[in-house]
């Protein structure tokens, strides 16, 4: 694919029109697998294979590449429609707020990537009401911080600040064995994401980008990889 733009800025992702994610800067890429507890609930992340990358590389967005997670130009042969349909509203304007005794939960449901870390030990929307209990408070913070899409954000009521662990710039290739599918790209550490028309999406610590081609909220994941049973084949190696 001929990419006419050249970028010198590091930690930058450009969405090619009906094409891949063009990554600029030596951002590490590795498999991140969702590990379930004995009840089958999402409980932790397990880092796997790290892929060798250059200072510029492209990641598949259509879900059909034969060299996953990288692009092999299959999108050109299949007529992939990668039209970006996200509202582009900033996070603060798309959230519903849930208030608890010591914590406040912000929830942007349309960013859900169906990773399900909000469920174990009690659903986070119920637990937020119990955060005067230290155990419940700790679990709420844990569940929110494990959410890869940044749908869930926790605020400390007393300190009046977000509880957020800054992540190093990286891209995770999400795998979800419990649901028997592969998930989105987990973009971490405030990497700039630029649309095909030059719009800069809000830079955030955690976002998930669709790589199955089935999201109705492109470029972001909406969990449809689980519906279409998207599989990249990487866990077989």
Convert the pLDDT of each residue in 158-174 to its tens digit: 988 999 999 999 999 99
> 237 pLDDT exceeds 70?
no
With H, G, I as helix, E, B as strand and everything else as coil, classify residue 68. Answer: coil
Confidence band for 6, pLDDT divided at 50, 70 and 90: very low
pLDDT of residue 9: 63
Q: Are 185 and 171 in contact (CB under 8 A)?
A: yes
Q: What angle do CA 130, 167, 237 make, to 5 degrees?
A: 105
pLDDT of residue 10: 80
Q: Are 87 and 94 in contact (CB under 8 A)?
A: yes
pLDDT of residue 235: 87
pLDDT of residue 34: 98
Give residue-wise pLDDT tens across range 44-102.
Answer: 999 999 999 999 999 999 999 999 999 999 999 999 999 999 999 999 999 999 999 99
Report phi then psi at 168, rounded to 5.
-75, 145
> 2 pLDDT exceeds 50?
no
Closest to 209 in 3D by CA, of 54, 9, 61: 61
Place of tokens 């590389």: 57
Q: Are 155 and 97 in contact (CB under 8 A)?
A: no
Closest to 211 in 3D by CA, of 91, 34, 70: 70
> 1 pLDDT exceeds 50?
no
In this prediction, residues 135-148 reach a mean pLDDT of: 97
pLDDT of residue 68: 98
């Amino acid at each position: 694919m001929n990419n006419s733009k050249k970028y010198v800025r590091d930690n930058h992702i450009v969405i090619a029109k009906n094409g891949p994610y063009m990554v600029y800067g030596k951002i590490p890429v590795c498999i991140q697998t969702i590990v379930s507890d004995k009840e089958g609930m999402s409980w932790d992340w397990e880092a796997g294979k790290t892929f060798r990358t250059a200072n510029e590389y492209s990641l598949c967005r259509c879900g059909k590449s034969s060299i996953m997670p990288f692009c092999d130009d299959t999108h050109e042969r299949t007529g992939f429609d990668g039209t970006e349909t996200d509202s582009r509203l900033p996070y603060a304007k798309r959230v519903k707020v849930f208030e608890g005794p010591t914590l406040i939960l912000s929830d942007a449901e349309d960013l859900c990537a169906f990773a399900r870390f909000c469920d174990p030990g009690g659903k986070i929307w119920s637990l937020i009401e119990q955060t005067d209990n230290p155990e419940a408070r700790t679990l709420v913070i844990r569940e929110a911080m494990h959410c890869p899409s940044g749908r869930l954000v926790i605020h400390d009521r007393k300190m009046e600040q977000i509880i957020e662990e800054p992540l190093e710039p990286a891209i995770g290739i999400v795998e979800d064995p419990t649901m028997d599918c592969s998930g989105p790209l987990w973009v971490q550490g405030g990497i700039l994401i630029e649309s095909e028309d030059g719009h800069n999406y809000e830079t955030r610590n955690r976002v998930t980008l669709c790589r199955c081609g089935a999201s109705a909220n492109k470029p972001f994941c909406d969990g449809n990889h689980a519906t279409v049973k998207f599989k990249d084949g990487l866990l077989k190696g």
